[in-house]
């Protein structure tokens, strides 16, 4: 969590005694982060700590999953591998909600279909929700001004982003939007990707 108070580390005294004050500190920092970046949350930890944290936390409304076990020394890349399947299940569970919102926003002219529109809204708009079909990827070269995408077939070419969809997802999440992964063909007009905007 770049630019946040994380990672937080418990003191020896907190490890020996009750962890409640430390868990409250973690929850406070988590709340501050989620207000700026309302992303899905995955808790990784051993019992009873995880259950105690869930009981006292005010910031688990977007809890996607719990990865059980002691992960104090788990390398970040391994932890990412453990978390990834849980996040995908969570994001795919939001298809119905995403399609309903997309329909409402289309009526308000606040829905944008297609990768070029999604890219521009992610960069310059007020992104609310990104819906993307789970098997859609889009290698592209970004223009010098950053606003235009040129599709490419040669992934080894210079200045090519292997999958611009991953970039869009990251920007949307950083800007406070949420993401849903949809079944292939779910987005209208064969667009494969769509974004809604807040007012």
Classify domain 95-197 at the CATH topology level.
60s Ribosomal Protein L30; Chain: A; (3.30.1330)
pLDDT at 193: 98
User: Distance between CA atoms of 13 and 2, rounded to whole angstroms?
Assistant: 27
- Answer yes or no: is pLDDT of 2 > 50: no
pLDDT value for 197: 97
DSSP category for residue 5: S
How do residues 134-158 score in pLDDT, each as one tens digit? 999 999 999 999 999 999 988 888 8
In the predicted structure, residue 22 carries a pLDDT above the cut 60 = yes
Domain ranges for the chain, please list them: 12-91, 95-197
% of residues, the chain, pLDDT over 90? 64
pTM: 0.72
Contact yes or no for 27/56 (Cβ under 8 A): yes
| CA atoms of 93 and 39, how far apart (whole Å) | 15
Q: Would you place residue 68 in the very low, low, confident or very high pLDDT band (cuts 50, 70, 90)?
A: very high
String of DSSP letters for 146-178: S--EEE-S-TTSTTEES-HHHHHHHHHHHTT-E
Which one has a higher pLDDT value, 33 or 134? 134
Number of helices followed by number of strands (H, E) in the chain? 7, 9
The DSSP code for 189 is: G
Q: Which residue has the higher pLDDT, 164 or 158?
A: 164
Q: Which residue has the higher pLDDT, 4 or 128?
A: 128
Average pLDDT over the chain reads 89
């Amino acid at each position: 969590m770049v630019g946040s108070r994380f990672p937080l580390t418990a003191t020896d005294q907190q490890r020996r005694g009750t962890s409640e004050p430390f868990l409250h500190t973690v929850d406070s920092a988590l709340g501050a982060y989620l207000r700026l970046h309302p992303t899905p949350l995955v808790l990784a930890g051993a019992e009873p700590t995880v259950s105690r944290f869930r009981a006292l936390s005010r910031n688990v409304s977007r809890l996607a999953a719990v990865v059980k076990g002691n992960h104090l020394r788990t390398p970040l890349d391994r932890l990412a591998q453990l978390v990834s399947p849980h996040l995908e299940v969570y994001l795919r569970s939001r298809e119905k909600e995403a399609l309903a919102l997309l329909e409402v926003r289309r009526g308000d002219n606040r829905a944008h279909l297609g990768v070029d529109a999604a890219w521009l809204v992610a960069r310059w708009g007020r992104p609310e929700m990104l819906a993307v079909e789970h098997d859609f990827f889009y290698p592209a070269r970004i223009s010098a001004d950053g606003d235009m995408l040129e599709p490419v077939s040669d992934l080894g070419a210079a200045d090519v982003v292997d999958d611009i969809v991953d970039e869009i997802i990251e920007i949307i999440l950083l800007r406070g939007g949420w993401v849903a992964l949809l079944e292939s063909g779910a987005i209208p007009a064969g667009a494969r990707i769509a974004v809604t905007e807040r007012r």
